[in-house]
Amino acid sequence: MKADVILVTRVLERTQAILEEEFNLLRLYEAADRPAFLKEVAPRARGLATFGPAGADAKFMDALPKLEIISHFGVGVDSIDLAAAKKRGIIVTNTPDVLNDCVADTAMSLVLNVLRQFPQSEAYLRSGYWATRGAYPLTSSLGGKTLGVLGLGRIGEAIAQRAQAFGMKIRYHNRTRKKVPYGYDTDAVTLARNSDVLLVATPGGAETSKIVDARVLDALGPEGYVVNISRGSTIDEPALLAYLKDKRIAGAGLDVFENEPGINPEFFALPNAVLYPHVASATNETRFAMGMLQVDNLRAHFAGKPVLTRVV
């Protein structure tokens, strides 16, 4: 008997084919009437496959009394009510590690692009200004600068390794100090004060909400840069916009925003911001690996084995 698993959105073709083959797939994304769909599948839905921001709140879980497992696509589980899942004894899994390299590559490209202004200099060339206005203005080097990693976890460590290869010095702040050869700061403000580039790689959610606020941006100062690959919720966005406009910080490189994908249009007008549409893990290879880990967690659970990457 195939287990009944709700899928919240269509996934990569190869992963979708595997899910179709191995599970009795209940396609929530095809339902015109979502509450009616959930009511109909409630007596048999034992699994839920969630994707990024399309997670599961307590109300969603309450509608599914037979739910045993939520297998999430993505390492960040801030879109899932973990406390509600724990209370119900629902297993939650995520997709860590397989995306570290791609996310760290993306983070380094943001550091490079925001300091060296490569996107802006290319736009300058494409506008024909090279011939009419002369050379593009000088920018900032990476070598010798300090990268402060706020959230030195799996991804933060992969970023630190890459930044060292670019000649950067590393500092970090976590709640728990680690055995690593990097300077430790006891809070985000001190880390920002000691860094040229503040790289945010914490999880999202209530614990880290606006962990980068005006005080942290003040500590970073007019020569400092902020790069965010965590979640939009970790930065006080109105404060960031004001600091970028007034040049109270030098620049920002952002892969994540509040209200994605309908981000605040004020970002579009900022010459000192490099903006990506949440693409840090978005390669075919990595997204397939993430999908397979999501599938493997469902496979393990319904085979009566321990899941591979349990969160709660």
Q: Which stretch binds ligand NAP (CB under 6 A): 43-51, 111-119, 213-221, 226-234?
A: 226-234
- Among positions 247-286, residues that touch ligand 8YV (CB under 6 A) are 278, 281
- Among positions 69-88, residues that touch ligand NAP (CB under 6 A) are 75-76
Active-site residue 30, yes or no?
A: no
Rounded-to-integer distance, Cα 85 and Cα 57, Å: 9
Active-site residue 260, yes or no?
A: yes
Among 278, 287, 299, 301, the one annotated catalytic? 278
**Beta carbon of residue 1, minimum distance to ligand NAP (angstroms, whole number):** 35
Query: What are φ and ψ of residue 238, in 5° steps?
Result: -60, -40
- Among positions 60-79, residues that touch ligand 8YV (CB under 6 A) are 73-76
Question: Smaller CB distance to ligand 8YV: residue 120 or 228?
Answer: 228
Q: Is the dihedral angle over the CA atoms 185, 189, 193, 198 positive or is it negative?
A: positive
41 binds ligand 8YV (CB under 6 A): no
291 binds ligand NAP (CB under 6 A): no
- Residue 73 binding result from ligand 8YV, ligand NAP, none, given CB thresholds of 5 to 8 Å by partner type: ligand 8YV
The token pair that represents 14 in the structure block: 């190869």
- Among positions 177-216, residues that touch ligand NAP (CB under 6 A) are 201-204, 207-208, 211
What DSSP string describes the chain? -PPEEEESS---HHHHHHHHHHSEEEEGGG-SSHHHHHHHHTTTEEEEEEETTB-B-HHHHHT-TT--EEEEESS--TTB-HHHHHHHT-EEE---STTHHHHHHHHHHHHHHHHH-HHHHHHHHHTTHHHHH-SPPP----TTPEEEEES-SHHHHHHHHHHHHTT-EEEEE-SS--SSSSEE-SSHHHHHHT-SEEEE-S--SGGGTT-B-HHHHHHH-TT-EEEE-S-GGGB-HHHHHHHHHTTSSSEEEES--TTTTS--GGGGG-TTEEE--S-TT-SHHHHHHHHHHHHHHHHHHHTTS--SSB--
- Residue 176 binding result from ligand 8YV, ligand NAP, none, given CB thresholds of 5 to 8 Å by partner type: ligand NAP
Q: Which stretch binds ligand NAP (CB under 6 A): 63-71, 118-126, 135-143, 147-155?
A: 147-155
- Among positions 6-25, residues that touch ligand NAP (CB under 6 A) are none
Nearest to 49 by CA among 86, 100, 15, 14: 15
- Among positions 75-114, residues that touch ligand 8YV (CB under 6 A) are 75-76, 99
Rounded-to-integer distance, Cα 276 and Cα 112, Å: 13
Among 22, 68, 258, 260, the one annotated catalytic? 260
- Residue 60 binding result from ligand NAP, ligand 8YV, none, given CB thresholds of 5 to 8 Å by partner type: none
Nearest residue to ligand NAP on Cβ basis: 153
- Residue 305 binding result from ligand 8YV, ligand NAP, none, given CB thresholds of 5 to 8 Å by partner type: none
Question: Smaller CB distance to ligand 8YV: residue 257 or 302?
Answer: 257
> In the complex, which residues of this chain contact ligand NAP (CB under 6 A)?
75-76, 96, 99, 103, 151-156, 173-176, 201-204, 207-208, 211, 229-231, 255-256, 278, 280-281
> In the complex, which residues of this chain contact ligand 8YV (CB under 6 A)?
51-52, 73-76, 99, 278, 281
Give catalytic residues, as residue numbers.
Answer: 231, 260, 278
